Chain A
Amino acid sequence: KAGVTQTPRYLIKTRGQQVTLSCSPISGHRSVSWYQQTPGQGLQFLFEYFSETQRNKGNFPGRFSGRQFSNSRSEMNVSTLELGDSALYLCASRGASMNTEAFFGQGTRLTVV
């Protein structure tokens, strides 16, 4: 059974640009959540989708958005990139219940220059 797949693995963008990250969950999983990981702030929750609906949202500005498709794949978009958006972005999937353990992808390392 394939795990959680995130693409791309690495990205370098310029301030002001926008970026889209992709996440394919474990087959059969309907929940996808996104986390931002930085050395200073640790792991911070961005949002979670279940069956194409956003179920929870963290405290991030509106520049951060996401969506989930009918095949459970999810995308996260960051517009007007800032230097502080440089981070490891982790995607996690869960099965039928959102209130259980999550399985993570290898992450996308975003660098904003």
Chain B
Amino acid sequence: AQTVTQSQPEMSVQEAETVTLSCTYDTSESNYYLFWYKQPPSRQMILVIRQEAYKQQNATENRFSVNFQKAAKSFSLKISDSQLGDTAMYFCAFVPITGANSKLTFGKGITLSVRP
């Protein structure tokens, strides 16, 4: 069974600064995807970034980048130049690339507040 752990329930950052959100996971799978989702007050879960476990290069999407450490089973999200619109809950999620178990496993989430 897979588990995803987000140990920081809340974080706060000043606008324009950089913040890193942590996530660890546990799995016996060798090939999988990792995701970060954002859930603003509007409630809609939005995909922020995706990382394939077989790729050594860390994924980047504009101001969002990840630090993927496969051996340590760590997957952190760095948000650069934080904006007020980044205020949201952020969820780390996992899915095996193959196999019958295709459900997304989520962490508990972290509430990020961006201060003006």
Interface string of A73-113 (1 = CB under 8 A from B): 00000000000000010101000001111111111010000
Is there an interface contact between A99 and B99, defined as CB atoms closer than 8 Å?
yes
Is there an interface contact between B44 and A101, defined as CB atoms closer than 8 Å?
no
Neighbouring B residues of A88 by C-beta, 8 Å = 43
- Asked whether A43 is an interface residue with its Cβ less than 8 Å from the other chain, the reply is yes
A88 to B102, CA, bound (A): 22
Is there an interface contact between A99 and B43, defined as CB atoms closer than 8 Å?
no
Is there an interface contact between B102 and A99, defined as CB atoms closer than 8 Å?
yes
Q: Which of B15-23, B68-76, B103-111 contacts A (4 or more CB under 8 A)?
A: B103-111
Is there an interface contact between B95 and A58, defined as CB atoms closer than 8 Å?
no
Is there an interface contact between B47 and A43, defined as CB atoms closer than 8 Å?
no
Interface string of B25-43 (1 = CB under 8 A from A): 0000000010101000011
Most B Cβ at <10 Å: residue of A45, A58, A99: A99
Also in contact, A42 and B109, with CB within 8 A (given A48-B102, A100-B33, A102-B104): yes
Is there an interface contact between B102 and A55, defined as CB atoms closer than 8 Å?
yes
A72 to chain B, nearest CB (A): 16
The tally of residues in B whose CB lies under 8 Å from a CB in A reads: 26
A45 to B105, CA, bound (A): 8
A45 to chain B, nearest CB (A): 5
Is there an interface contact between B103 and A106, defined as CB atoms closer than 8 Å?
no
- Asked whether B50 is an interface residue with its Cβ less than 8 Å from the other chain, the reply is yes
Is there an interface contact between B42 and A106, defined as CB atoms closer than 8 Å?
yes
- Asked whether A33 is an interface residue with its Cβ less than 8 Å from the other chain, the reply is yes
Neighbouring B residues of A109 by C-beta, 8 Å = 43
A99 to B101, CA, bound (A): 8
Interface string of A30-71 (1 = CB under 8 A from B): 010100000000110100100000011010000000000000
Is there an interface contact between A101 and B108, defined as CB atoms closer than 8 Å?
no
6 A-B pairs within 8 Å (CB atoms) are namely: A43-B109, A56-B100, A99-B96, A101-B47, A102-B104, A106-B44
Interface on B for A, CB 8 Å cutoff?
33, 35, 37, 42-47, 50, 91, 95-109
A56-B103, A88-B43, A90-B45 are known contacts; what are 4 more A-B pairs with Cβ within 8 Å?
A: A33-B103, A43-B106, A45-B105, A106-B42
